[in-house]
């Protein structure tokens, strides 16, 4: 992919990832240019008529009833940016900021926001020339969107007659932290003097929430596929029972995700000599019920993906303009769809991590691991002198407990602001940030299971040298061992687990196991 073309209608999650993480260039579709110019003409007509329209010739929020004269419209937009850029906390990751800039440009490209083409061109120039605003993570209620964070982008992009460097925010450019003014000058991007409605159009909408959501959806799919691989590896290492993955069972219930997970595991373990080699008739829930638990995570992800892909192609500021120049004031900026979706996804991924941790526990407990050494030390007589996989499991358990707190729903929390004019807020940005943390934690939990299961398979195949792994699990096991060779005695496991996690996030394990 060399270029992403935006038109306000067809942006995908994969496009967002390509621009945010891989630096793919972005352009505006010709059809979108026509729509944007038409909507700007409507704004000019409204100003000329003098009709009172929220955000165009009135104040904002609780000041919506106060009229603003046309000659003050530019100052109105600039004041909005300056007064709203009050975020706090650590800076958001560059990939989130780039994703948000792309989503905002796509929103404006729909032609309902009334901005000039140069506003969208300016946003795309930030992406294409590598100027990344420094945006604080906290301070958004998710309604009227992510106001503070979007205003921080606008500090970089826009200016006024005074052009004070102190009012230009900060940005990363070519490895340096610069003032927004300096970064834009070095990159050769002209900062914009805002006109009527443009400050509101730049700052209204749950754009950062949606951007984080898009990245989380992409990563969640990777983690769910990894969860099938780690499940299959653990099933082999524990010499589990295949009956629980029989397609007839899952068709009888009918959930698509459940059917998919069972099929994936069957494919991975196909040809295994370890599965079904004991006299057990059924396994513990963390193995036997994994299709039911992990399957509904897939179904949840499908819903969340639909919400996020709808939102990144949505017109989300207020008011919106429609043919023949009608301005409608509404609430498309409200982040409730994103807040709920992120809460759902966070809960699903927390459960994926939780069931993975239980399998890791079974692998290391000699009472449940079907004859393997305690803590997976190399030999029984090494126990005590060596701790084996004891502490990696501690880390997994800690992250699972943290996920349980992070997965507590944020979207049910609301406080009124703006003198009760904005009396129900979505808390969407907090939900999205927490889900992103759950994604990171769950990736590490799965890496620990994969790492532990690979070690368990080393020991199991030593016990049964004549037995072979399934077609997919053999590839997955060998891929892990290609990154981290087996070590008999205690070693610094931490960096090796990080290597496995990096393999997972780069889809190396997933790609290898299905090749």
- Where in the sequence numbering do the catalytic residues fall? 54
**How far is Cα 177 from Cα 405, in angstroms, rounded to an integer?**
34
DSSP 423: -
Q: CB–CB of 77/200 below 8 Å?
A: yes
CB 375 within 8 A of CB 362: no
Cα dihedral 324, 325, 328, 334 in deg (nearest 10): 110
Closest CA to 463 of 364, 376, 384: 376
What is the distance between the terminal CA atoms of the chain, rounded to a whole angstrom? 22
Identify the H or E element spanning 323: none
Instruction: Give, as one character, the DSSP assignment of residue 348.
Output: H
List, as one string, the DSSP characters of 182-204.
HHHHHHT---EE--TTHHHHHH-
Q: Nearest 5 degrees, angle CA 338-CA 342-CA 344?
A: 120
CA atoms within 13 A of residue 224's CA, in its CB half-sphere = 28
Angle between helices 256-269 and 207-237 (to 10 degrees): 40
When computed from its CA atoms, the radius of gyration of the chain, rounded to whole angstroms, is 26
Q: How far apart are CA 336 and CA 82, in angstroms?
A: 26
Give the integer Cα–Cα distance in Å for 363 and 168. 55
Tell me whether strands 158-159 and 192-193 are parallel, antiparallel or unpaired.
Answer: parallel
How far is residue 335's CA from residue 321's CA, in Å, rounded to a whole number? Answer: 20
Strand partners, 132: 172
Helix (H, G, I), strand (E, B) or coil at 313: coil
Contact criterion met (CB below 8 Å) for 67 and 51: no
């Amino acid at each position: 992919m060399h270029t992403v073309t935006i038109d306000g209608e067809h942006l995908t999650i994969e496009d967002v990832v390509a621009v945010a993480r891989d630096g793919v260039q972005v352009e505006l579709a010709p059809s979108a240019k026509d729509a944007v110019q038409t909507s700007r003409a409507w704004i000019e007509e409204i100003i000329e008529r003098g009709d009172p329209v929220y955000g165009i010739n009135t104040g904002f929020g609780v000041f919506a009833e106060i009229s603003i004269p046309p000659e003050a419209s530019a100052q109105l937009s600039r004041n909005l940016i300056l007064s709203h850029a009050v975020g706090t906390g650590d800076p958001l990751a560059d990939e989130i900021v780039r994703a948000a800039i792309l989503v905002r440009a796509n929103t404006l490209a729909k032609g309902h926001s009334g901005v000039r083409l140069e506003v969208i061109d300016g946003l795309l120039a930030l992406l294409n020339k590598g100027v990344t605003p420094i945006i604080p993570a906290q301070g958004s209620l998710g309604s009227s969107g992510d106001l503070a964070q979007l205003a921080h982008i606008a500090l970089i992009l826009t200016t006024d007659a005074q052009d004070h460097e102190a009012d230009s925010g900060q940005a990363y450019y070519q490895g340096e932290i610069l003032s927004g003014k300096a970064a834009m000058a070095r990159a050769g991007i002209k900062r914009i003097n805002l006109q009527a409605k443009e400050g509101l159009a730049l700052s209204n909408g749950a754009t950062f929430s949606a951007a984080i959501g898009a990245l989380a959806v992409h990563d969640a799919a990777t983690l769910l596929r990894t969860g099938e691989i780690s499940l299959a590896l653990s099933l082999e290492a524990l010499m589990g029972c295949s009956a629980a993955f029989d397609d007839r069972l899952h068709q009888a219930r009918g959930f698509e995700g459940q059917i998919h997970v069972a099929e994936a595991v069957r494919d991975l373990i196909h040809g295994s000599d370890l599965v079904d080699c004991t006299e057990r008739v059924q396994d513990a829930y963390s193995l036997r019920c994994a299709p039911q638990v992990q399957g509904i995570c897939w179904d949840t992800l499908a819903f969340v993906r639909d919400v996020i892909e709808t939102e990144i192609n949505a017109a989300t500021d207020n008011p919106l303009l429609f043919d023949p120049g009608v301005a409608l004031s509404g609430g498309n900026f409200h982040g409730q769809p994103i807040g709920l979706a992120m809460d759902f996804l966070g809960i699903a991924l927390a459960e994926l991590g939780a069931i993975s941790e239980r399998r890791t526990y079974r692998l290391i407990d000699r009472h449940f691991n079907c004859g393997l050494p305690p803590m997976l030390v190399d030999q029984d007589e090494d126990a005590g002198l060596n701790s084996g996989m004891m502490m990696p499991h501690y880390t997994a358990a800690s992250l699972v407990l943290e996920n349980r707190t992070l997965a507590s729903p944020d979207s049910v929390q609301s406080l009124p602001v703006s003198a009760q004019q904005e009396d129900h807020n979505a808390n969407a940005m907090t939900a999205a940030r927490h889900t992103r943390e759950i994604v990171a934690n769950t990736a590490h939990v799965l890496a620990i299971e994969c790492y532990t299961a690979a070690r368990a398979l080393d020991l199991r195949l030593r016990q049964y040298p004549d037995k072979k792994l399934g077609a997919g699990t053999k590839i997955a096991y060998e891929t892990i061992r290609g990154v981290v060779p087996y070590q008999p005695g205690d070693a610094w496991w931490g960096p090796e687990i990080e290597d496995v996690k990096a393999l997972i996030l780069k889809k190396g394990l997933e790609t290898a196991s299905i090749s």
